[in-house]
Structure 1
Amino acid sequence: MGVLLALASAVSYGLSDFAGGLLSRRASFAGIALWGQLGGLLVALLATLVLPSPAVTAADLAWGALSGIGTGLGMLFLFRGLGRGAMSVVVPLSAVGGVSLPVLVGVVFLGERPSALAWLGVLLALPALWLVSGGRAGKGVPDGLLAGTGIALQYLALAEAGPGSGAWPVVAGRVAAVGTIMLATRPKPARKIAVPAAATGGAAALALVCYLAATRHQLVVVAVVLSSLYPAIPVLLGLTVLHERLSRRQLTGLGAAAAAVTLLAVG
């Protein structure tokens, strides 16, 4: 069950990024991010009816809200980057940053001691970012890196919520994400994209819920590795459906990024 939930998380994240990227090329990235988080809030509320929450505390909700601030900022930069640059470049950049930064924060501020594999992943992430970006700050590259910072905050804060809190930290996070997006951009969301944008956010929230559920049925390291496979979906769809063209250097970087994410997750 845990393996299936973790894979479901990866699929939901991947499809959400791909669909959000397509929408970002047709409408305001801020409007897409806002509708997305509203759709995610609905899914998270429904998840509270399924996931048991015997011991929800104010601290759990506070960590969830902090996580949501990272989500809101991360999605703004991600969708802006997807609207400007290649999906097969922006998503891997955000993914590597989202996984490697929590490791560095744990070392510098929390006194954690990662394994040799995790350190290898960090070292591999640096050239991977350079190779995927093509060695320059092209279209969408800065946004992908900034999105990774927001995603890292999302994961770092959500990890602090207690196991007895169910999906309520995710609910608090969606509320905080909506507030963050509105304060940061004051978007004017077009109604014509409301349903598809809300669906992308609902898929992302479902991915978080599946990940939390997976960690309660499976070893955390297994759940993290499997759910971290999500960039493969938008990358493959970007290359095959959208016919995005990448240089040999960028393709090498994609392989290095995949290896870095796996090593960081395992470590």
Structure 2
Amino acid sequence: MTGELLALASAGCFGVTHFVNGVIARRAPGLTVSLYAQLGGTLVTLVVAVVWSPPGLTGLLWGALSGVGTGIGVAFLYRAMSRDALSVVVPVSDVGAVVLPVVAGLAFLGERPSPAAIAGIVLALPAIWLVSGGGRPTGPGIRYALIAGAGFAVQFLAMKPVPLDAGLWPIVVSRAASVAAILPLVLTTRTPLTLRPRLAWPAAAAGALGSVAIVLYWVATHQQLLAVATVLAALYPAIPVVLALLFLGERLSRKQTLGVCGAAAALALLALA
């Protein structure tokens, strides 16, 4: 499977994860949902690593840094969602998560995408914004959304240096570090630590799928430029939109329709590249 397809598969997994947890977060505190999701992701990767991946120390520090970014990103994204419209905070956090890795790839890693790839990257940024609803970037949750975007950018950037022969243990450390990053926020905000079982199990399962997304993205960065892999993985907001259409009876706005068309055009350009 090519790097482009792996990154798109990662976007699909990220999208389903956020859709499921977004629905659950309407019925329970968002921080608690994020905690259970990361616990589920940690448990699954630990079991798989014990069975199939030999223990080793390679890449563990990068994995831990990525996990801290994940924890900060998820925690502050949910805090932003509690203070502002999803159509505002999701695109702010997602665009922030894309811009920093793209700049790092171009400025520090010496990446030189083709003209078609650059055009696809440039087109993808407003498409991400529009497909999420294209709300105005004002409101009390914007500061948290910007912090979330920085956290997700660290998540993306820190996975790139992890060698593929390191096995899954850096992913285990990443998931565990995300739990460690979220738990103090849960405790200091006096958020409940427990979820009802009928909400806890889906949240954990969605978190496990989020771990699959991280693995797919990690492999994609070793088969494709960091800038391209990050942009493709960050197209995940289109997935909750589609799922909301199918299962929640929601309708596309004109901005979202334009965003979906823009995302399709960006994908075509990146595929040509």
Give TM class, smaller chain.
Answer: 0.7 to 0.9
Structure 2 match to 1:189:
193
Q: After the TM superposition, which residues 211-230 of structure 1 pair with which residues of structure 2 at under 5 Å, given as runs?
A: 211-212=217-218, 219-220=223-224, 224=229, 230=236
Shift of 1:16: 1.0
Shift of 1:204: 0.6
1:140-190 residue CA offsets vs partner (Å, 9 max, x unmatched):
666555433322211110111111111111111111111111233424322
Structure 1: distance between partners of 2:221 and 2:101: 18
Structure 2 match to 1:172:
173
Structure 2 match to 1:57:
57
Structure 2, unmatched stretches of 5+, are none
Structure 2 match to 1:72:
71
1:69-92 residue CA offsets vs partner (Å, 9 max, x unmatched):
110011113334555666676555
1:235 and 2:247 matched: no
1:30 and 2:36 matched: no
8 Å contact from structure 1 (residues 18, 87) kept in 2: no
Q: 1:149 to 1:239 in 2, by over 3 A?
A: farther
1:195 maps to amino acid: W
Q: What is the aligned-residue RMSD (CA, Å)? A: 3.7
1:249 maps to amino acid: K
Q: Which moved more, 1:228-237 or 1:121-130?
A: 121-130
Q: 1:114 to 1:261 in 2, by over 3 A?
A: same
1:204-230 residue CA offsets vs partner (Å, 9 max, x unmatched):
1122234446678xx446x94875554
Matched residue SS, 1:134: coil
Structure 2 match to 1:119:
118
Structure 1: distance between partners of 2:13 and 2:254: 29
Q: After the TM superposition, which residues 138-149 of structure 1 pair with which residues of structure 2 at under 5 Å, given as runs?
A: 145-149=146-150
Q: 1:185 to 1:107 in 2, by over 3 A?
A: farther
Structure 2 match to 1:137:
138
1:194 maps to amino acid: A
1:209 and 2:209 matched: no
Q: 1:32 to 1:205 in 2, by over 3 A?
A: same
8 Å contact from structure 1 (residues 133, 141) kept in 2: no
Q: 1:228 to 1:266 in 2, by over 3 A?
A: farther
Q: 1:126 to 1:176 in 2, by over 3 A?
A: same
Shift of 1:116: 2.6
1:57 maps to amino acid: L
Between the aligned residues of both structures, percent identity stands at: 48
Shift of 1:241: 2.8
8 Å contact from structure 2 (residues 134, 255) kept in 1: no
Q: 1:214 to 1:129 in 2, by over 3 A?
A: closer
Structure 1 match to 2:160:
159
8 Å contact from structure 2 (residues 186, 193) kept in 1: no
Structure 2: distance between partners of 1:252 and 1:144: 23
Structure 1: distance between partners of 2:193 and 2:156: 27
Structure 2: distance between partners of 1:241 and 1:139: 30
User: What's the TM-score once normalised by structure 1's chain length?
Assistant: 0.77
